[in-house]
Structure 1
Amino acid sequence: MSLITKIENYKLYINGEWIEPISGEYFDVVNPASGEVVSKAAAGDERDTKKAIEASYHAFPEWSTKPAAERARILRRLSQLLLENEADIARTISLEVGKPIQQAIIEVKGSAEYTLWNAEEARRIYGETIPAPIRNKRLKVIRQPVGPVAAITPWNFPLSMVIRKIAPALAAGCTVVLKPAELTPGSAVQVCQLAKQAGVPAGVLNLVTGNPVKIGETLLSDKRIRKITFTGSTPVGKQLLKQAADQVKRVSMELGGHAPLIVFEDADLEQAVASATQVKFYNSGQTCICPNRIYVQSSIKESFLVLFKERVGALKVGNGLDGNVDVGPLTSKNALEKVKSHVEDALGKGATLIIGGKEPVVEGYKEGYFYSPTILCDINESMLISNEETFGPVASITTFDSEDEVVEKANNTDYGLAAYIFTKDLSRSVRVSEALEYGMVGINDIGLAVVEGPFGGVKESGMGREGGPNGLNDFLESKLISTLI
């Protein structure tokens, strides 16, 4: 039996209560497959945000000193509740993002695992003792939560991005004000419902939806918020960094990507093509770690394209809630227009269309933001798709001849989130993976988003890491205590 209350109007969650926005206004949440309004969410503003900050500030002293074992118990319960309500949450994700339901279910399962991991990490916030320079001195270091945290999350993985922020924050002893994306507030609402049932005290987790500028400026200007954790575009991240600098707030950011996928001539071609298809078109290409640039060694270009076209042509496009759908709609009209502009720009500058390149007719969903899985080849550096994150179901193919050449091309970007290599040569895999300027590199592997490993980028792709053995570090401060005896 579901423990999630069915609601049409998503209210704000502040200090343990569901409340109306002060404005009294709500905005529409739309299904990108059909264009239909599926719910309405509270149009919160700076006044509501101040109330949420106040709640998190007053809840912090009690939550931050609660024994780690108790925080862990609550998070373990939340993990279990996510699994028990998997079907409802997955449906909400699919309705709001357009994501195929099978992928939405994977997102829920992964979020539950991430919550469980952080529950256990709560009990491993270790200090240390340090040998002192004199006999009658004792030095120790303790680690304490940084304070109330503002978490700002994107729409492409609306549940997992929320959990990646709040689970380590709560585990570390921080309180949270959560601002989810306007396009996808539903799963954040459900998380707050389940968090309350799991035993998260009033004020520890607060939810504000609405005007991103007014909410964001309030979170950044209030001194009681001691840390910003953000996932989103690099331009927005840069703006948040500038604002956070005024108060020297702690920040962690997972920003844009422009991932290269490199296929060397000695690679297992079937594996490389299957992996490229999966990682490129997952969530309609709307992932920060999907390859935006595919580099194929010249000697295997034709063989690669034959196999790749066959696999991509077999992908089924449709409403994410329908069965056996591989690629859903883009999540917004703006996203669709960006994809179209990248394809048109590339074709106008000499790219060759291998497959796709159009808006398909999906029976029963003529208002949906669908775009066919597309392959372009003969890509050059003057094209938008070579320099910007497309965030859509378009694979661009460039050839290369030498190892040094492709490493230089792959690194020729301001981004540095994820990269992929396909080769059977062990020495080459070591050389290239170490030479690539990216926070994560997959060698014959596309499964980079695992809770056991640190997720994050370098250069303009962000700072800080989510997951892994040090996943709580960004939410903790180290304090030296020196004692003369």
Structure 2
Amino acid sequence: MQKYPMFVDGRNHEPAGGEWFLTDDPFQGKPWAEIARGGQRDVDEAVEAAHRAFPGWADLTASARGALLRTLGDALAGHAERLARLEVRDNGKLLSEMHAQLSYLPQWFHYYGGLADKIEGTVVPLDKKGYFAYTQKEPLGVVAIITPWNSPLMLLAWKLAPALAAGCTVVVKPSEYTSASTVEFVRLLHTAGLPPGVVNVVTGFGHDVGAALVAHPLVRKVSFTGADTTGRQINAAAARDLKPVSLELGGKSPNIVFADADLDAAVNGVVSGIFAATGQTCIAGSRLLVQDTVHDEVVRRVVDLAGTARMGDPADPATQIGPITTPAQHAKVLDYIDIALAEGATLALGGSAATRPECGDGWFVEPTIFTGVDNGMRIAQEEVFGPVLAVIPFSDEQHAVEIANDSRFGLGAGVWTSDIARAFRMAQRIRSGTVWVNTYRAVSYLAPFGGVKDSGIGRENGIGAVHAYLEDRCVWINTGAETGNPFVLR
């Protein structure tokens, strides 16, 4: 049984309360490591370490910070395979997907390393003579980053790289279900040259560590990815201290197939959108909207393709669908299957826990497809976060838009059509942070990502992401204006 202490101020940190908890291997269905259980004292030490490190990190020239970020990216590239295997052990996602993510992840550090010395203020063209004014971009200070269990390191990189480029220091709280890879990741950053205290990790539970981080008076911003219910709690707690937040929350994304689409490509995209990553992704295309004239054909093809998916050991390159990450999530997915059946949806595929020999003792759910779904059903409105697809027919473009937007979420959407004018119209009318046309589940460090409505606040990736960790200072200089009446606004 391996043990993972926290990492604070550049060194391993034992839990102040002396407590540890177990983390499970979802494929084996049993614990494989012990994780330090942090509390208020550990949060205090980590935040204070980040606070002490902030002046030195912020005072580095932007070029020096950028050069170090690029060095960190190179170091991560050299350890991508090891980190990928660690994530597979801890969260059960496919090695092929984790290897692709971890091999791509260094690009965030290269990109934001290059952007660090491109952050510029402006000269303000004032309407008042005798004054000169300019703005400066200043780092916020200590940032709390709280990450989920489905793609821990990728989603950490989305937040960490721009925060460091901006000059902020960081305390990370990973999910209690997938903490090991984050600890190893941050250790590696410091081995590669990151100064002590610039990035710290406190492991533990939300009510102990997460709440203490959000409430800490030295934390100046909170960036969170996870469930919308938790996001609401974080937003409310941060608001008490007027702390800005970035929230990337859940989704119930529509994947819309028109009759004129390339159906082979669309079916492939539909299966990728919901069954890749075992459906455990915020951008899962969990609502399949199909034009009624091709509904039966598309459903048949999707059922046939999903039915061939190979389940089993996520470390096996041949595996296509791995386990659910936690027992609680496994139970939740099965509960939603029961809810859909009770609501009157028709089961077209799956509908149960997987008992195939190749699934061993892991927490697996068969790829599940429901037809006859009305968009008002819970299975169409609530995020399942598992391999469960709800199929909804539509008649025309207007009908598709109405169904797509009839959701409290707005994170992603897919549109499959050969009509370029329709593609532009649909992208304009769907209320979603991202719209993919004739593709799905594509991301880049260059492309902004985030949601509208209950799917969150703010954007990650792209040039704009770094500004989420900066604030403006405006400087006024009197170059010869008369002082005038002291009781009148200048």
TM class by shorter-chain length? over 0.9
Aligned to 1:415: 409
Aligned to 1:320: 314
Q: Secondary structure at the match of 2:232?
A: helix
Deviation string, structure 1 residues 19-69 (Cα, Å, up to 9, x no partner)? 211111111110011112221110010110000011011111111111111
The 1-side partners of 2:4 and 2:393 are apart by 49
Task: Mark the runs of 5 or more structure 1 residues left unpaired by the alignment.
Answer: 1-6
| Among candidates 2, 23, 37, match of residue 8 of structure 1 | 2
Q: Secondary structure at the match of 2:195?
A: coil
Are the counterparts in 2 of residues 292 and 385 from structure 1 also a CA contact under 8 Å?
no
Aligned to 1:472: 466
1:110 Cα offset (Å): 2.5
CA RMSD of aligned residues (A): 1.3
Residue 20 of structure 1 pairs with residue 11 of structure 2? no
The 2-side partners of 1:305 and 1:175 are apart by 49
Aligned to 2:267: 273
Are the counterparts in 2 of residues 375 and 397 from structure 1 also a CA contact under 8 Å?
yes
Residue 46 of structure 1 pairs with residue 46 of structure 2? no
1:425 Cα offset (Å): 1.1
Are the counterparts in 2 of residues 295 and 400 from structure 1 also a CA contact under 8 Å?
yes
Are the counterparts in 1 of residues 289 and 400 from structure 2 also a CA contact under 8 Å?
yes
Aligned pairs for 1:13-162 (under 5 A) are 13-162=7-156
Q: Secondary structure at the match of 1:360?
A: coil
Aligned to 1:246: 240
1:362 Cα offset (Å): 3.6
The 2-side partners of 1:265 and 1:197 are apart by 54
Aligned to 1:402: 396
Amino acid at match of 2:112: N
Deviation string, structure 1 residues 196-244 (Cα, Å, up to 9, x no partner)? 0221111111100013212122212222100000001111101111111
Residue 461 of structure 1 pairs with residue 458 of structure 2? no
Aligned to 1:348: 342
The 2-side partners of 1:313 and 1:158 are apart by 29
Are the counterparts in 2 of residues 345 and 383 from structure 1 also a CA contact under 8 Å?
no
Amino acid at match of 1:50: D
The 2-side partners of 1:93 and 1:113 are apart by 19
Question: What's the TM-score, normalizing by structure 1?
Answer: 0.97
Aligned pairs for 1:438-457 (under 5 A) are 438-457=432-451
Q: Secondary structure at the match of 1:391?
A: coil
Q: Which sits farther off after the overlay, 260-269 or 66-75? A: 66-75
The 1-side partners of 2:375 and 2:292 are apart by 17
1:424 Cα offset (Å): 0.9
The 2-side partners of 1:87 and 1:431 are apart by 42
Aligned to 1:367: 361
Deviation string, structure 1 residues 79-106 (Cα, Å, up to 9, x no partner)? 1111111111011111111111001101
Residue 260 of structure 1 pairs with residue 254 of structure 2? yes
Deviation string, structure 1 residues 410-434 (Cα, Å, up to 9, x no partner)? 1111111111111111221111111
Residue 178 of structure 1 pairs with residue 172 of structure 2? yes
Amino acid at match of 1:296: V
Deviation string, structure 1 residues 289-315 (Cα, Å, up to 9, x no partner)? 011211000000111122112211111
The 1-side partners of 2:291 and 2:381 are apart by 20
1:364 Cα offset (Å): 6.0
Q: Secondary structure at the match of 1:467?
A: coil
Are the counterparts in 1 of residues 138 and 470 from structure 2 also a CA contact under 8 Å?
yes
Amino acid at match of 1:275: G
Q: Secondary structure at the match of 1:141?
A: strand
Aligned to 2:428: 434
Aligned to 1:4: none
The 1-side partners of 2:22 and 2:348 are apart by 38
Amino acid at match of 1:391: F
1:365 Cα offset (Å): 4.7
The 2-side partners of 1:365 and 1:316 are apart by 10
The 2-side partners of 1:422 and 1:80 are apart by 38
Q: Secondary structure at the match of 1:256?
A: coil
Q: Secondary structure at the match of 1:471?
A: helix
Residue 288 of structure 1 pairs with residue 279 of structure 2? no
The 1-side partners of 2:97 and 2:207 are apart by 31
Q: Secondary structure at the match of 1:93?
A: helix
Give the 3 Å change call, closer, same or farther, for CA 452–245 of structure 1 in structure 2.
same
Amino acid at match of 2:227: S
Amino acid at match of 1:376: F
Amino acid at match of 2:178: T
Aligned residues: 479
Aligned to 1:187: 181
Aligned to 1:329: 323
The 2-side partners of 1:443 and 1:365 are apart by 34
Q: Secondary structure at the match of 1:226?
A: strand
Are the counterparts in 2 of residues 440 and 448 from structure 1 also a CA contact under 8 Å?
no
Amino acid at match of 2:342: G
Q: Secondary structure at the match of 1:228?
A: strand
Amino acid at match of 2:371: C
The 1-side partners of 2:365 and 2:181 are apart by 25
Q: Which sits farther off after the overlay, 255-264 or 214-223? A: 214-223
1:349 Cα offset (Å): 2.4
Give the 3 Å change call, closer, same or farther, for CA 434–59 of structure 1 in structure 2.
same
Aligned to 1:3: none
Q: Which sits farther off after the overlay, 349-358 or 51-60? A: 349-358
The 1-side partners of 2:128 and 2:192 are apart by 48
The 2-side partners of 1:86 and 1:33 are apart by 21
Amino acid at match of 1:46: Q
Residue 229 of structure 1 pairs with residue 223 of structure 2? yes
